[in-house]
């Protein structure tokens, strides 16, 4: 374990020194894409420039959809019922090992429903468990809270690529049509692989807990700093009509009832769960958040906190859209598609896409936005090899989240709450990654 920790700390130092900010990566990728279009494809400079600038605004709908995934999940995590449920869950463990195993299972279950919910609610559960079980290894507990972002989010109900291609009017509809989630997220392959990954990492969380003499416990000073969301107080005395509306449950309940009624009607008329897509999932989480926050005042206070984590999405997505514009307009898609065809067969292509997507995700932790860049040439290569597009979507999705386990970008909100640095948990995450990667790779080679 000591050797592994030293290796993990070395990887953390490498990341801190050589992996720049997400914005810097997006700019460097833009320059690389321009160079490939000019030098490899031979596109004219004015064409490349026009394609880049014009592409900036082609993915505005997708950008807003992904921002709402994070925003609505965060809102739901701050509701009183979710907090009460997490406090109840925190009372269940009877040993340090069961605490870390439970943390891993809950993190992955929450991420399956919404990755934004998992990030925030898992951070809250870390706080509650650490208060009740101070004998748990705090580093491992926080690492297990991050398992969902590396094992289940892109296989579940907030999966950007599978839900996007299931949404009518998506930017790839002319190329591959609409692919319902029964062919991707709820296919036997995806469900089976998800269950296998959850079982493996939950068992690993149990096995990784150090002996009592080697356990690193949470410091009391850290526990004191782990504050909870504080809802706004209702004004004292006689309320004005505006104040009464802001602190009454009436508007939230009406909105929630209307939202649930629309959702039930939509599912009834469109084939039940097969009608789920990005818009429907975001609508559902927003409706539940409004309903469970109870009053407009509490909802708005939570919205201020939830909105603070959206800057990365708002800043990065237009840059990736510009890269997508270059790929689409210059013929670069065809060239890279030909390269993939030359390196793959029909049987090996899904596994190669999975590994390729994982490597790219480590350096471009985009939360699915790079699907806009990669989808054209991956789908083009799949068509030439006779591989079904839903297999490509799933291979991309699983690769896109695999290296999240060892990539600090999405862990930053969790680490800020937990008062730890990424190097403190990277050793445990690296062990999980080394166990998880062969399982999923083998799955795509055999059944993908």
Q: How far apart are CA 218 and CA 203, in angstroms?
A: 23
Per-range mean pLDDT, top range of 19-28, 281-290, 304-313, 326-335: 281-290
* Alpha carbon distance 345, 340 (integer Å): 9
Question: What is the Cα 28 distance to its own chain's centre?
Answer: 23
Per-residue pLDDT at 310: 80
Residue closest to 5 by CA, chosen among 433, 438, 424, 435? 424
Instruction: Say yes or no to pLDDT of 92 above 60.
Output: yes
What φ, ψ does residue 407 adopt, rounded to 5°? -115, 125
Instruction: Find the mean pLDDT for residues 119-131.
Output: 86
Does 419 have pLDDT greater than 90? no
pLDDT of residue 221: 64
pLDDT grade for 188, boundaries at 50, 70 and 90: very high
Q: Is 242 exposed, middle or buried (0-12, 13-18, 19+ CB in 10 A)?
A: exposed
Q: Is the pLDDT of residue 416 over 80?
A: no
Which residues 6+ apart lie within 8 Å of 356 measured at CB? 399
- The whole-number pLDDT of residue 283 equals 94
Contacts of 384 (CB under 8 A, 6+ apart): 337, 341
What pLDDT, on the 0 to 100 scale, is given for residue 224? 62
Burial of 3 (0-12, 13-18, 19+ CB in 10 A): exposed
Which whole number is the average pLDDT over 48-60? 89
Tokens 């949470």, residue?
Answer: 218
234 phi/psi in degrees, rounded to 5: -75, 130
Q: Which of 66, 67, 30, 27 is nearest to 49 (CA)?
A: 30
The confidence score (pLDDT) of residue 149 equals 87
Could you give the CA distance from residue 51 to residue 215 in angstroms, rounded to a whole number?
A: 55
Six token digits for residue 376: 């054209």
DSSP 40: I
DSSP result, 59-100? THHHHHHHHHHHHHHHHHHTSHHHHHHHHHHHT--SSHHHHH
Neighbours of 9 (CB within 10 A): 14
Q: Please give the structure tokens belonging to residue 367.
A: 């939360």
Q: pLDDT-derived band of residue 225, with 50, 70 and 90 as boundaries? A: low
pLDDT of residue 441: 92
% of residues, the chain, pLDDT over 70: 90
Give the pLDDT mean for 58-77.
Answer: 82
Predicted confidence band of residue 37 (pLDDT cuts 50, 70, 90): very high
- Does the structure show a pLDDT above 50 at 203? yes
Half-sphere exposure of 321 (CA within 13 A, CB side): 19
Mean pLDDT of the chain: 85
- Tens of pLDDT, residue by residue over 271-311, are 787 777 778 888 998 999 999 999 999 999 999 988 877 87
Instruction: Say what the pLDDT of residue 8 is.
Output: 47
Q: What span, in angstroms and rounded, lies between the C-alpha atoms of 256 and 110?
A: 22
- What pLDDT shows up at residue 7? 55
How many other CB atoms are there within 10 angstroms of residue 158's CB atom? Answer: 29
State the average pLDDT over residues 318-333.
Answer: 83
pLDDT confidence bin for 163, thresholds 50/70/90: confident
pLDDT at 11: 56
Region 339-359 average pLDDT: 86
Confidence (pLDDT) at 5? 46
Of 35-44, 176-185, 383-392, 413-422, the least confident: 413-422
CA angle 367, 414, 12 (to 5 degrees): 80
By CB atoms closer than 10 A (0-12, 13-18, 19+), residue 443 is buried
For 408, residues 6+ apart whose C-beta sits below 8 A from its C-beta are 12, 15, 415, 422, 426
Average pLDDT over residues 409-416: 70
What gap in Å lies between CA 318 and CA 320, rounded to an integer? 5
Q: What confidence score (pLDDT) does residue 418 get?
A: 75
Q: At residue 74, does pLDDT exceed 90?
A: no
Q: Which helix H or strand E contains 104, and what residues bound it?
A: helix 96-113
Model confidence pLDDT, tens digit, residues 260-274: 999 999 999 987 877
Identify whether the C-beta of residue 313 lies closer than 8 Å to the C-beta of residue 63.
yes
% of the chain surpassing 90 pLDDT: 35
Which of 164-168, 309-313, 384-388 is predicted least confidently? 309-313
Q: How many helices (DSSP H) and strands (DSSP E) are in the chain? A: 24, 0
Q: What pLDDT is stored for residue 9 in this prediction?
A: 52
* Mean pLDDT in residue range 398-423: 77
Closest CA relative to residue 235, chosen from 307, 295, 304: 295
**Which pLDDT value is given to residue 85?**
92
Over 90: is that where the pLDDT of 95 sits? yes
Say how far apart CA 327 and CA 33 lie, in whole Å: 8
């Amino acid at each position: 374990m000591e050797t592994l920790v030293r290796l993990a700390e070395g990887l953390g130092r490498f990341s801190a020194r050589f992996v720049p900010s997400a914005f810097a990566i997006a700019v460097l990728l833009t320059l690389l894409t321009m160079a490939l279009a000019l030098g490899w494809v031979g596109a004219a400079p004015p064409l490349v420039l026009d394609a880049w600038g014009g592409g900036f605004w082609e993915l505005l709908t997708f950008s807003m959809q992904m921002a709402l995934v994070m925003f609505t999940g965060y809102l739901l995590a701050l509701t009183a019922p979710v907090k009460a449920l997490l406090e109840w869950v925190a009372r269940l463990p009877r040993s340090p090992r069961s605490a870390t195993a439970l943390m891993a299972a809950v993190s992955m279950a929450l991420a399956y429903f919404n990755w934004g919910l998992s990030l925030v609610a898992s951070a809250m559960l870390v706080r509650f468990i650490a208060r009740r079980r101070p004998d748990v290894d705090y580093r491992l507990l926080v690492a297990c809270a991050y398992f969902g972002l590396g094992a289940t989010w892109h296989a579940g109900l907030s999966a950007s690529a599978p839900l996007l291609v299931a949404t009518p009017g998506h930017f790839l509809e002319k190329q591959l049509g609409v692919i319902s989630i029964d062919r991707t997220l709820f296919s036997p392959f995806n469900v089976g692989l998800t269950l296998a990954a959850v079982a493996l990492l939950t068992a690993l969380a149990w096995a990784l807990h150090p002996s009592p003499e080697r356990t690193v416990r949470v410091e009391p000073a850290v526990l004191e700093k782990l504050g909870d969301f504080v809802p706004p107080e209702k004004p004292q005395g006689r309320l004005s009509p505006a104040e009464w509306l802001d602190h009454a449950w009436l508007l939230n309940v009406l909105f929630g009832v209307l939202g649930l009624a629309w959702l039930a009607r939509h599912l009834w008329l469109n084939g039940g769960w097969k009608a789920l897509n990005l818009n429907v999932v975001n609508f559902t989480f927003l409706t539940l958040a409004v309903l469970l926050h109870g009053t407009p005042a509490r909802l708005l206070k939570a919205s201020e906190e939830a909105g603070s984590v959206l800057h990365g999405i708002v800043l990065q997505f237009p840059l990736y859209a510009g890269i997508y514009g270059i790929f689409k307009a210059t013929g670069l898609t065809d060239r890279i598609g030909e390269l993939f065809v030359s390196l793959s067969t029909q049987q090996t292509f899904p596994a190669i896409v999975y590994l390729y997507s994982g490597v790219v995700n480590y350096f471009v932790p985009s939360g699915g936005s790079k699907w806009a860049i990669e989808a054209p040439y991956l789908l083009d290569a799949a068509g030439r090899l006779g591989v079904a597009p839903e297999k490509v979507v799933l291979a991309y999705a699983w690769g896109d989240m695999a290296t999240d386990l060892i990539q600090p970008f999405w862990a930053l909100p969790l680490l800020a709450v937990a008062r730890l640095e990424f190097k403190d948990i990277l050793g445990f995450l690296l062990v999980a990654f080394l166990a998880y990667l062969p399982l999923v790779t083998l799955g795509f080679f055999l059944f993908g």
